[in-house]
């Protein structure tokens, strides 16, 4: 069995306001830095064998804090990257509310695609493929994977056999941890949206 600690990156200034997407100018804010350090202290007690992170700076900063607390370096894993939101990148949720494609994204993510972006089905295929490969590479170990809310929600939907259309039914807060135990051909979700106080 491999224990997968699925971490949403810590807080930044656009959370709840706009789609940061793959905008590499978005890093952690001051609260996010404190959150990442608290998370690092908590997760280091679990002695992970490796820490993998999305290439986005907010995820890298979170992952590096965790890896440093564990006495190792974080490794960049492109499959953990944020969704490519295409033309929506950087737009506020208020602006997006007037885009007819946005409501399809909110209600029917199984069929939606951001303009010039990536579908959630494609995201799910890449993240699940990554987690399957890392499960095989780290048997009987614990690993940390730092990514983004909808990417991790897509993975959890796969393991829970839930439709991608249902992702708005649960939340993953910044700095939260979800836990999946996985082995060859099976997986069990053991925690969703655990937070560090």
pLDDT above 70 coverage of the chain, percent: 99
Structure tokens at 91: 């737009």
Using an 8 Å Cβ cutoff, are 41 and 92 in contact?
no
Residue 197's pLDDT is 52
Lay out the sheet containing 142-147: strands in order across: 75-76, 50-53, 142-147, 2-8, 177-183, 186-194
Neighbouring residues of 37: CB distance < 8 A, sequence distance ≥ 6: 65, 69
pTM: 0.94
Residue 179's pLDDT is 96
Tell me if residue 103 falls in helix, strand or coil.
Answer: helix
Task: List the domain boundaries for the chain.
Answer: 2-194
Structure tokens at 120: 């959630």
The angle at the Cα of 90, spanning 74 to 51, to the nearest 5 degrees, equals 10
Residue 39's pLDDT is 95
Length of the chain measured in residues: 197
Residue 129 has pLDDT above 80, yes or no: yes
Fold classification of 2-194 (topology level): Rossmann fold (3.40.50)
């Amino acid at each position: 069995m491999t224990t997968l600690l699925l971490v949403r990156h810590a807080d930044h200034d656009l959370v709840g306001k706009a789609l940061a997407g793959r905008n590499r100018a978005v890093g952690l804010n001051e609260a996010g830095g404190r959150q990442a350090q608290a998370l690092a202290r908590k997760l280091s007690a679990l002695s992970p064998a490796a820490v993998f992170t999305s290439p986005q700076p907010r995820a890298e900063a979170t992952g590096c804090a965790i890896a440093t607390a564990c006495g190792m370096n974080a490794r960049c894993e492109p499959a953990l990257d944020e969704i490519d939101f295409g033309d929506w990148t950087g737009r506020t949720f208020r602006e997006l509310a007037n885009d007819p494609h946005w409501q399809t994204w909110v209600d029917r993510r199984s069929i939606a695609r951001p303009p010039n972006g990536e579908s959630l089905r494609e995201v799910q295929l890449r993240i699940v493929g990554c987690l399957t490969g890392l499960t095989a590479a780290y048997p009987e170990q614990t690993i940390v994977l730092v990514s983004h809310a909808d990417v991790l929600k897509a993975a959890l939907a796969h393991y829970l056999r839930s439709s991608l259309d249902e992702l708005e039914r649960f939340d993953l807060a910044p700095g939260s941890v979800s836990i999946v135990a996985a082995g060859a051909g099976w997986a069990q979700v053991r925690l969703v949206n655990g937070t560090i106080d």
